[in-house]
C-alpha cells in the first residue's frame, strides 16, 4: 500500500480505504469513502500475456456463479500487461504501486511503477510435480482418495511429493477432510483455471519433444489419415477439439506419444523446426495404463478433455477460445 502514488497512499493513511482479508473464502473488501466493494481474491506470482485469457475466463465464470468480480494481486504488473487487464476488466494491485479499480463509481488507475524484486513462485502445488498431481485430481473425482503411493504411480511422481502436495492443498483450502477422513476437493473452478495457467507456463515446455513440418504431404489436409495409436499416441490440441466438438477445423496439429522411440517421425517424414511447425509432439506425463484413468470421460484417440481445454483457452484465436469453453461446459465435470 505504501508503494501507491502519494494521493492514494494518503487515502490509506486516513484511513478511507480499508482492506480486510477473509482467508476461509478468499474474499477481500475494499472500502473507499462510503463505497464498499467485495471481490474474490486471486493471488498469482507472475502475470504474462498468455495467462490473461484464462484469467478473463475465470473472472467471467466466477462472476456468473457467485456474482462477484475477481481482484488480482501479484508482484509486478508491467504497463502492457496492465493495459490488457484493464481492457478485459480485471481489477488489480501489485507490490510496485500499480493499481486498477473500476467499480460502483470508483475509478483508480496507476501504471508504470517499476518493481524492485523479482517475482517468486512460492509453494510446490503449481510446480511440476504439483501440476501432475492436480491433473489426476481434476481428471477423476476418485483420484483424491487413492493412497499416496497409488496417486504417485498414476502421475509419475514420488509418494513423498504426493504427501507434501496434499498438505499444501489443505493449507490453501483446496482440500478438506469430510466424514471418515474422506478427502474432498473444494474451489474446483479456481483450481482448474490456476492449473491451466501453470500447465502452459511450467509443465508443457518440459514435456514438449519438438515441432515438425513435412515436405511430403499437407498434414493439415490429411490428418484424418494419420493414426497416432500406431505409435502408442493420441491427438491433442485442435485435432482433439475437432473430435470432441465437431466444431473446429485444425490450423495446427498436436500429438502425445510415449517417447519410447521416434518411429512417428520417420513414418510421417517429419523435419524438426525451431518454431511454428505444423505438428507439435509431447510426451505423456501420466501413467496412461493406470486403472484410475480407465473409463474417464476421454475419447479413445485423444488426450483427456482437460488437456484440450488447457491448450485452446490460451490461444489468441477467438474460435479456439470459444471451442475451449464448449469443451469445459460439455466434457469437464467439476462437480
Neighbour-count burial for 15-50, b at 16+ CB within 10 Å, e otherwise: eebeeeeeeeebbbebebeeeebebbbbebebbeee
Of 4-8, 145-149, 202-206, 232-236, least confident by mean pLDDT is 4-8
Distance CA 281, CA 279 (A): 7
* Cα–Cα distance list, 53 to 24, 198, 299, 310, 328 (Å): 27, 13, 26, 11, 14
**pLDDT band at residue 60 under the 50/70/90 scheme:** confident
Neighbours of 260 (CB within 10 A): 9
> What domain count does the chain have?
3
- Tell me: the pLDDT tens digits for 170-185? 988 899 988 888 999 9
Q: Is 117 part of a structural domain of the chain?
A: no
**Does residue 167 form part of some domain?**
yes
Does residue 35 lie within any of the structural domains?
A: yes
Which of 158, 188, 218 marks a domain boundary?
188
Could you tell me which residue, 106 or 192, shows the higher pLDDT? 192
- The answer to whether the beta carbons of residues 98 and 82 sit under 8 Å apart is yes
Indicate whether 163 and 262 sit together in one domain: no
Cα dihedral angle (179, 181, 187, 189), rounded to 10 degrees?
Answer: -100
**pLDDT value for 119:** 43
- What's the mean pLDDT in 242-260? 90
Please give the pLDDT value at position 120: 46
Residues 142 and 252 in one domain: no
User: Residue 38 forms beta bridges with which residues?
Assistant: 29
Which of 110, 144, 171 is the C-terminal boundary of a domain?
110
For residue 210, what pLDDT is reported?
A: 95
Verify that 133 and 106 share a domain, yes or no. no
In a domain, 198, yes or no: no
Give the Cα separation of 120 and 221 in Å (integer): 44
Q: Does residue 321 share a domain with residue 216?
A: yes
What average pLDDT does the segment 326-331 reach? 90
Q: Identify whether residues 170 and 266 lie together within a single domain.
A: no
Q: Give the integer Cα–Cα distance in Å for 198 and 188.
A: 15
pLDDT category at 197 given cuts 50, 70, 90 is: confident
Q: What is the pLDDT of residues 104-156, one digit of tens each?
A: 888 888 888 876 544 444 578 999 999 999 999 999 999 999 999 999 999 99
**Residue 64 Cα distances to 22, 73, 89, 309, angstroms:** 21, 21, 15, 19
| pLDDT tens-digit readout, 12-59 | 655 555 566 565 567 887 777 777 888 888 887 778 887 888 888 888
71 lies in some domain? yes
Residue 200 lies in a domain: no
Residue that wins the pLDDT comparison between 23 and 240: 240
Mean per-residue pLDDT over the chain, rounded: 86
Q: What is the pLDDT of residue 83?
A: 93
Q: What local confidence, expressed as pLDDT, does residue 122 receive? A: 53
Host domain of residue 259: 208-331
- Residues 271-317 have pLDDT tens digits of 999 888 999 999 999 999 999 988 666 788 999 999 999 999 887 78
User: Does the pTM of the predicted model rise above 0.75?
Assistant: no
Q: Are residues 238 and 309 in the same domain?
A: yes
- Please say if the pLDDT value at position 5 is more than 80: no
- Lowest-pLDDT choice from 1-5, 130-134, 225-229, 264-268: 1-5
The number of residues making up the chain comes to 335
Phi-psi region of 123 (alpha: psi -120 to 50; beta: other; left: phi over 0): left
319 in the same domain as 234: yes
Q: Are residues 251 and 214 in the same domain?
A: yes
The CATH number covering residue 146 comes to 1.10.10.10
Per DSSP, 51 falls in state G
Q: What pLDDT is attached to residue 318?
A: 81
Amino acid at each position: 500500500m505504501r508503494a501507491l502514488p502519494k494521493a492514494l497512499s494518503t487515502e490509506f493513511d486516513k484511513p478511507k480505504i480499508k482492506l480486510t482479508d477473509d482467508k476461509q473464502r478468499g474474499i477481500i473488501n475494499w472500502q473507499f469513502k462510503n463505497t464498499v466493494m467485495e471481490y474474490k481474491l486471486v493471488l498469482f506470482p507472475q502475470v504474462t500475456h498468455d495467462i490473461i485469457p484464462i484469467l478473463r475466463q475465470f473472472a467471467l465464470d466466477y462472476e456468473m456463479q457467485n456474482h462477484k468480480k475477481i481482484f488480482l494481486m501479484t508482484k509486478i504488473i508491467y504497463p502492457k500487461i496492465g493495459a490488457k487487464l484493464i481492457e478485459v476488466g480485471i481489477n488489480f494491485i501489485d507490490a510496485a504501486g500499480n493499481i486498477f479499480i473500476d467499480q460502483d463509481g470508483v475509478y483508480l488507475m496507476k501504471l508504470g511503477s517499476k518493481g524492485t524484486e523479482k517475482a517468486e513462485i512460492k509453494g510446490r502445488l503449481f510446480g511440476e510435480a504439483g501440476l501432475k498431481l492436480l491433473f489426476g485430481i481434476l481428471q477423476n473425482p476418485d483420484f483424491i482418495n487413492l493412497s499416496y503411493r497409488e496417486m504417485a504411480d498414476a502421475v509419475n511422481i514420488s509418494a513423498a511429493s504426493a504427501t507434501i502436495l496434499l498438505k499444501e492443498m489443505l493449507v490453501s483450502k483446496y482440500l478438506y477432510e469430510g466424514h471418515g477422513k474422506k478427502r474432498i476437493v473444494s474451489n474446483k473452478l479456481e483450481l482448474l483455471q490456476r492449473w491451466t495457467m501453470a500447465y502452459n507456463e511450467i509443465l508443457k515446455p518440459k514435456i514438449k519433444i519438438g515441432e515438425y513440418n513435412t515436405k511430403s504431404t499437407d498434414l493439415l489436409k490429411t490428418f484424418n489419415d494419420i493414426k497416432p495409436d500406431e505409435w502408442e499416441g493420441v491427438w491433442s490440441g485442435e485435432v482433439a477439439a475437432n473430435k470432441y466438438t465437431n466444431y473446429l477445423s485444425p490450423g495446427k496439429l498436436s500429438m502425445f506419444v510415449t517417447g519410447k522411440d521416434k518411429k512417428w517421425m520417420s513414418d510421417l517424414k517429419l523435419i524438426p523446426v525451431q518454431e511454428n511447425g505444423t505438428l507439435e509432439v509431447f510426451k505423456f506425463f501420466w501413467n496412461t495404463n493406470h486403472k484410475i484413468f480407465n473409463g474417464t470421460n476421454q475419447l479413445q484417440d485423444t488426450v483427456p478433455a482437460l488437456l484440450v481445454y488447457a491448450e485452446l483457452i490460451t490461444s489468441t484465436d477467438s474460435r479456439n477460445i470459444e471451442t475451449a469453453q464448449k469443451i469445459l461446459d460439455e466434457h469437464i465435470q467439476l462437480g
